[in-house]
Each structure stands twice: as C-alpha cells, then as structure tokens.
Structure 1
C-alpha cells in the first residue's frame, strides 16, 4: 500500500472509532435521562444516532476492507445489500438534520406556540416521511441494479453496474442528490438563518437594556462594566458560531462527496481514486461529528454524562471499600491475639 492509502486507512479507522463511541454515549444519555426522552427533538436525534451507528458498524468497516484489499468486499448480492443500506442511512441522516433545523426554527420563532405546534405525534409523522423518502430512493436504486461496488470510492454505493442505462442513471443521480442533499441544505440555511435573525434581535434588545443600566449606574466599577460589555460580545458571537457549526459541518462533510458524484457523471472529467476515497471519508466523518454538534456539547447532555461518570466512580469506590473491609475481616480473623494464643504450643 502507498503512503496515501495507509493514511486514508488510518483516517477511516479513526472515524469508525470516534463515531462508534460518540454515538454510543448519546444513546446511553438518552436511556439514562428521562428528561431527554420527554423532549420532542429527541425523536429526530435518536433516529440520527441510530442511522450513524448502523452506518458505522455496517458500511464503514467494509469500505476500509475495500480500501485495504483494493477490491469488492464479498459477493455481488452482499455488496448490493450494503449499498442499499448506505443509500438509505445517508439519506435518512440528512433529512433528520433538516427536521432538527425545522424544530429549532419553530421553537425560536414561535416559542409560545411551540408545544402546540410540535408534539411527539407530529415528530413521528415527519420521521415517517424521512423513512419513506429514504426507502423509496434506495429501493428504486436496488431494483434497477444501480447499486454495486465502485472502485473510485472503494465502497458499495450507487453505481451503474450494467453501463447500459447511462441516461436514466444520470437523471436518477441528479434527482436523488437534489431531493436529499440540496433540499436538506436549503432547509438548514433558511431555518437557521431565521433563527440567527431572531437571536440577534434578542441580543440587541438585551444589549440596549444593559447599556441603559450601565448609564444609570454611574458609580459602577470599571471592571464590572468591562465584563458586561464582554458578555454582550460573547452573546452575539455564540449564536453565529452555533449556526455556522450546523451549516458548516453539513457542507464540509457532504458537499465534496456529492459534487464528486455529480462530476463523475461526465466521463470526460477524470477523477483520482484517492480523492474519491477522501470525499467518502468526509461524508462518513459527519457520523462522528453529529453527536457533538447536536447532542454532547449541550448542557443537558454534559450534565448527564457527568452524572453517569460520578455514579460509576461512586460504584467503584463502594466496591473497593467492600473488598477492603472483606480482606480486613479475614486479616483480623487469622491474626487476632486470641487466635494467635490458641495456635501457640
């Protein structure tokens, strides 16, 4: 293997480990904390977590095997099944992110009517659409034999295996990416930019009230005034940073792969297979980023993780104390003065 392929293999392995651990932590927090389960967005978060976990344990290792062995992992039927699952899981993940952005938009723009507009039943309906949408495209691709091993990406994915239906496959690929990646990206941009607009408006109102207060408090200490102004600046930057993270990670991870899939439809444009694998790794890395972007960096998940760690540490401490007490009793039983005297001649 060349040095580049070794680096790509190591990168793929790191993505698998990080994705598996981070998504497992999100699932553990969901099972541990009942408050998280009561929230409506948890339906989309849980669906996204399951999609990422299934993609991590089913598709990523086979792509790593294809990269190392430079060939198709398994039979054609097995590769078609793997390509079907990848198409379904990736599409479902993108639509779940779009659903989460819509939920955040309603919660921020219509806070008083959020609980009446978005309920678990409504979330289940939206989730049902994501499954129908994902299942339709993946099933159509499998039935038309447009799923197979693609050496450019070293994985089982969408591919015109027969090479006899290039025009229909081109149309299907364009429509598929338009209604998944492009649609999800537009929803993310529209909803999160509206959220950012509302957040900036509220920050501006808070800043005006803060400045009026600082003007009235003429005897306020300069250090306190400085901290208030610094908090205003951090508040304005915090909303922009969050929105940029949501949209930026989506584009950085998925855009290179989708653009490569579109450019691939033009046979006259050469694409290096190493770039194809890199774009595939970027798409897979979204499964490792999602737990941090949507869950683990939130205060509720941080607190839940801290509670779980403290509980495990306390349990370990109790076990250690019990074992120490047990050994102490054994020691006292064998080496008490009465027993020593009894054993002496």
Structure 2
C-alpha cells in the first residue's frame, strides 16, 4: 500500500466510527423522546438514519477491505448483494434529504396550514415512495448483471458492461439513474431551501425594522445595549444563510465528485486516476457521518434529549454505586459478627449482646 491508500484507509475507518456512533445516538434519541417521535420530520430522519447505519455496517467495511487487499473479500453473490445495498441505500438517503427539505419549506412558507398539509400519513407516503424509487433503480442492474466489484472504487457497485449493445443500455440507465436521484434531489434542495431563505430574510427584515424603531424611541438606552441589539440582528441574518448553505453544501461536496466521476467513466477515452475513484467514494460515504449532525444532533431538541439521557445514566449509576456501598457495608458487618462469634467459641468468651444475631 502506498501513502495515499494508507491515508484513505484511515479516512474510511474514521468515517465508519463517526457514522456508527452518531447515527446510533440519533436512533437512541428517537426511541427515548416521545416529543421527537410525535413530529412528522422524524420519520424522514429515521429513514435516513437507518440507511446510513446499514451503509456503514454492510458496505463501508467491504470497501476498506477492498482498498487494503485490492479485491473483494467474498464471492459473487455477496458482492451482488453489497452492490444492490449500495445503490438502494444511497438513493434512499438522497431522496430522504429532498423530503426533509420539502417538509421545512412547507413549515416555513405555510406555517398556519402545515399540520393539514404534512401529516403522518403524508410522511409515510413519502417514505414509501423513496423505497419504491430506490428499489426500482437498484433491482434493474442486479437483474441485468450490471453490478460487481469495481476496482476504481474498491467496492461492489454498478459496473460498466463490456458488450457494445449492452454498453449503450448501461450508459442510458446510468444517466437516467443519476438524473432522477442526485440531480432531482439537488434541484429540490436548492428550490425549497432558497424559498425558505427568502422567507427567513423577510422575517428578519421585519424584526430589524421593529428593533430599530424601538431603539430610536429609547433615547436613554445605554450604548452597549444598543450595540448588543445590532449584533443580534447581524447574527440572526447570518444564521439562516449558514444553515441553508450547510444543507446544500454538504450534499454537493459529498455526492457531486462521485456522481461526476461515474458520468465521466462512461467515456472510455477519458482517463480517471485510481486514487481519485476511491477518494470520491469515501466522500460519498462521509455524508453518512455528516447527516446526524446536519439534520439532528445540532438541533436544540436533540441536544436536550442527549442531555436528559446522560443525566439519567449518571443518576442511575450513582444510585447503583450507593446501593452497592450499602450492601458491601452490611456484608462487612456480618463478617465482623461472624468472626467475633468464632473467637468467642475458641476462647470461651461471651459474645456481647449487641453483636448477637
């Protein structure tokens, strides 16, 4: 293994650890908090979390072995199963992010009618569509034997057909697949979140006008308080832009290099560096480690739930420690009494009444 492969292998290990721990934490928060479970977006987050966990457990370790050994560790059947899961889980993750953006767009643009427009039934229909969409695009290449171990990405995924007639069909399928998954999800993300940003800036502008009018009326206000109000206005305007940029930016940064590489691969005359293929695959995997923080763990509700879980665990541990100390103390007292009894029998001494049991 050269230096690049060693660095990429360590990167995959770090992605596996972070993705596994963070997604498990999101799942624990979902199971622990009834308030989180009662929210409609939690269904999309739950679907996204399950996809990330399965991808972390089933596909990432195989890619790590492929980078180290330069071959797939299992047989043809296991490789086909891994390729099916890779396509299915990645597609479902992209569509879940698009569904979350639609949910936030409805919540911000139509706040009064949100509960009538987005119900649990509607969320279940959305999750069912993501599964059906993902199953369709992952079953077709599996049936047509367009899956296998790809040396460029060191993983089991879609493989280029060699025959000319089949190659044309494979090129069409690949173009349609990435257009209706990555490109469609990106368009939905951009349209919905830009609408959300527009509404957020409008509300920030109204709040700023009211704040400035209040500051003008308060003539005797201290300059430090006035400066704090103006600073809060600036932070409020930047907060919405930063969140929208994070949602769209992480999606493009993680998935775009891999998708572009897959499209360039359709042209045999264009050379692709083998190290770049593995790096682009690692970037796509890194989205599974970013999603828990982007969509869940950095939100106030999930932070509060994590704090409640930690406090509950610490209180139970302290209670167990105290009860264990009480039991040990009782055991020590009983041992002392028994020893005094033995001594009294040995030396013919009378045991004090306080020590009799």
Match of 2:31 in 1: 31
User: Is the CA contact (8 Å cut-off) linking 2:9 and 2:64 kept in structure 1?
Assistant: yes
CA distance in 1, matches of 2:64, 2:342: 69
Establish whether residue 107 from structure 1 lines up as the match of residue 107 from structure 2: yes
Match of 1:175 in 2: 176
CA distance in 2, matches of 1:72, 1:56: 17
Offset at residue 44 of structure 1 (A): 0.5
Once the two structures are superposed, residues 9-33 of structure 1 have per-residue CA deviations (whole angstroms, 9 ceiling, x without a partner) of: 1100110111011000000000000
- Secondary structure, in 3 states, of the residue corresponding to 1:39? coil
Offset at residue 342 of structure 1 (A): 7.7
Match of 1:81 in 2: 81
Establish whether residue 123 from structure 1 lines up as the match of residue 123 from structure 2: yes
Q: Which moved more, 1:130-139 or 1:73-82?
A: 73-82
- Secondary structure, in 3 states, of the residue corresponding to 1:149? strand
Q: TM-score, normalising length from structure 1?
A: 0.97
Offset at residue 340 of structure 1 (A): 4.5
Distance 1:163 1:67, change over 3 A: farther
Match of 1:309 in 2: 310
**Mapping for residues 1-345 of structure 1, pairs under 5 Å:** 1-164=1-164, 165-335=166-336, 340=340, 343=343, 345=347
- Secondary structure, in 3 states, of the residue corresponding to 1:67? helix
- Secondary structure, in 3 states, of the residue corresponding to 1:157? strand
User: Is the CA contact (8 Å cut-off) linking 2:141 and 2:147 kept in structure 1?
Assistant: yes
CA distance in 1, matches of 2:16, 2:331: 47
User: Is the CA contact (8 Å cut-off) linking 1:95 and 1:184 kept in structure 2?
Assistant: yes
Once the two structures are superposed, residues 61-94 of structure 1 have per-residue CA deviations (whole angstroms, 9 ceiling, x without a partner) of: 1111111110123112221111011100000000
- Secondary structure, in 3 states, of the residue corresponding to 2:149? strand
Offset at residue 339 of structure 1 (A): 6.9
Q: Which moved more, 1:132-141 or 1:278-287?
A: 132-141
CA distance in 1, matches of 2:214, 2:68: 65
Q: Which moved more, 1:18-27 or 1:153-162?
A: 153-162
User: Is the CA contact (8 Å cut-off) linking 2:161 and 2:167 kept in structure 1?
Assistant: no
User: Is the CA contact (8 Å cut-off) linking 1:148 and 1:161 kept in structure 2?
Assistant: no
Q: Which moved more, 1:69-78 or 1:23-32?
A: 69-78
Distance 1:112 1:339, change over 3 A: same
CA distance in 1, matches of 2:343, 2:198: 85
- Secondary structure, in 3 states, of the residue corresponding to 2:267? coil
Q: TM-score, normalising length from structure 2?
A: 0.94
User: Is the CA contact (8 Å cut-off) linking 2:161 and 2:170 kept in structure 1?
Assistant: no
RMSD (Å) for aligned C-alpha atoms: 1.4
Offset at residue 206 of structure 1 (A): 0.4
CA distance in 2, matches of 1:232, 1:49: 35
CA distance in 2, matches of 1:143, 1:214: 68
CA distance in 1, matches of 2:334, 2:120: 61
User: Is the CA contact (8 Å cut-off) linking 1:147 and 1:161 kept in structure 2?
Assistant: no
CA distance in 2, matches of 1:163, 1:278: 28
User: Is the CA contact (8 Å cut-off) linking 1:63 and 1:155 kept in structure 2?
Assistant: yes
Distance 1:153 1:163, change over 3 A: farther
Offset at residue 145 of structure 1 (A): 1.2
User: Is the CA contact (8 Å cut-off) linking 1:145 and 1:160 kept in structure 2?
Assistant: no
Q: Which has the larger radius of gyration?
A: 2
Aligned residues: 344
Distance 1:222 1:331, change over 3 A: same
Once the two structures are superposed, residues 253-278 of structure 1 have per-residue CA deviations (whole angstroms, 9 ceiling, x without a partner) of: 00000000011111111111110000
